[in-house]
Chain A
Amino acid sequence: MEIGNDIFEKIGKPSMGVPEGYFDSLKSRLESIPSAKVSHPGVWAGMRPYLALAASFAAIVLIGNALLRDTVKNQSADPFYSEDSYADIISITNPELLYNESEFDMEELSDEDIINYLIESGVRTEHLAYAGDQY
């Protein structure tokens, strides 16, 4: 069945409703905006997800650095360690191990924080689709 150009007039605009008395209560709520003290989210609240992520990266770098130093110290102190022993690093750079040993508690970073961070950082659904294609 082919639809003509007048289809939109024939169908008509769908009528949407609102709860009874809604617009009266809406107006009185909106009119009170100037007298209400508008609370702006503090700088801290806005920065929280970014700081949490920055803290997690800093924790990973610090722990990685400390572990590497420790390994190098052991290597120089003990002649048993050869260059091949660098392979030992692999076991302790296991990300899971790092997270477990980190003082930063990843549980503090909720899914909601991560989602908010991604949204605020301007990620678009196209980026997510691209990232999805990588795996």
Chain B
Amino acid sequence: MTDKEILDLYNSGQRELAFKELVNSYSERLYWHIRRLLCSHEDTDDLLQDIFVKIWSSLSTFRGESQLYTWLYRIATNESLNFLQKQKIRAALQFESMTSKIEERIDEDTLLDGDQLQRDLMKAIQRLPSKQRTVFIMRWFDDLSYEDISEILGTSVGALKASYHFASEKIKAELEKNLK
């Protein structure tokens, strides 16, 4: 079902059915998007539930000024970044390093089916500043266009391209260090 059909269904009063279609179309895509940002299946599972509760409660406020799918990605991205920020503060208050926690997660993740180089790549991505990491994940992993990312993050295409470039260079430098 297309976004327009989902919205038409919702506006016709069949709200629960529209939400069901929305879950069918987007739950898996949003799961992967959040999973790449959080690097944890369990955290993603918890957060995804909260995100869909939020989507359900605010769907009536969707005015159609943006595409439905960029609106959903915006909610998911914002919630994920807030979640990460809270985890980072929590870790800092307990004198722990969030980066090393996430690196441990990547090393111990039995659901991550990758060789050492791919794990190094994941770690290098996690060491990036928040904005560069988000842009890199959306562009490289999720294959989103710069125009869509621009709509989701509210940043100009030029700034996104610069962020992606810096992110790629940093990751390459990290991987080079590991290969020496």
Spell out A's residues near B (CB within 8 Å). Answer: 1-3, 5, 7-8, 11-19, 23, 26-27, 29-31, 33-35, 38, 115, 118-119, 123-125, 128-129
Candidates A1, A18, A33, A119; contact of B176 at CB < 8 Å: A1
New contact pairs (11) apart from A1-B179, A15-B114, A115-B90, CB-CB < 8 Å: A2-B176, A3-B172, A3-B175, A14-B114, A19-B41, A26-B31, A30-B48, A34-B56, A38-B53, A118-B89, A125-B89
Smallest CB separation, A104 vs chain B (Å)? 22
A11 to B113, CA, bound (A): 13
Main secondary structure of the interface of B (DSSP, over half): helix
Candidates B48, B49, B88, B176; contact of A125 at CB < 8 Å: B88
Q: Report yes or no: B53 in contact with A118, Cβ–Cβ below 8 A.
A: no
Q: Report yes or no: B56 in contact with A38, Cβ–Cβ below 8 A.
A: yes
Chain A residues near B92: list those with CB within 8 A: 125, 128-129
Chain B residues near A7: list those with CB within 8 A: 172, 175
Q: A11-B121, A14-B122, A26-B45 are in contact. Are A33 and B56 (CB under 8 A)?
A: yes
Q: Report yes or no: A14 in contact with B119, Cβ–Cβ below 8 A.
A: yes
Within 82-114 of B, Cβ neighbours of A (below 8 Å) are at 85-86, 88-90, 92-93, 109, 111-114
Chain A residues near B15: list those with CB within 8 A: 34
**Which 5 pairs from chain A and chain B are nearest by CB?**
A14-B114, A14-B118, A17-B111, A30-B23, A34-B16
Q: Does residue B71 face the partner (Cβ distance < 8 Å to A)?
A: no
Within 55-95 of B, Cβ neighbours of A (below 8 Å) are at 56-57, 85-86, 88-90, 92-93
Q: A1-B179, A23-B27, A30-B49 are in contact. Are A17 and B113 (CB under 8 A)?
A: yes
A26 to B121, CA, bound (A): 28
A124 to B81, CA, bound (A): 13
Nearest-CB residue, chain A, relative to B16: A34
Nearest-CB residue, chain B, relative to A15: B113
A-B contact pairs, 17 of them (CB 8 A): A1-B176, A3-B175, A3-B176, A11-B117, A14-B114, A14-B119, A15-B112, A16-B32, A18-B31, A19-B41, A23-B28, A23-B31, A26-B48, A29-B49, A115-B89, A115-B90, A128-B93
A123 to B93, CA, bound (A): 11
A5 to B48, CA, bound (A): 34
Q: Report yes or no: B118 in contact with A12, Cβ–Cβ below 8 A.
A: yes
Chain A residues near B85: list those with CB within 8 A: 124-125
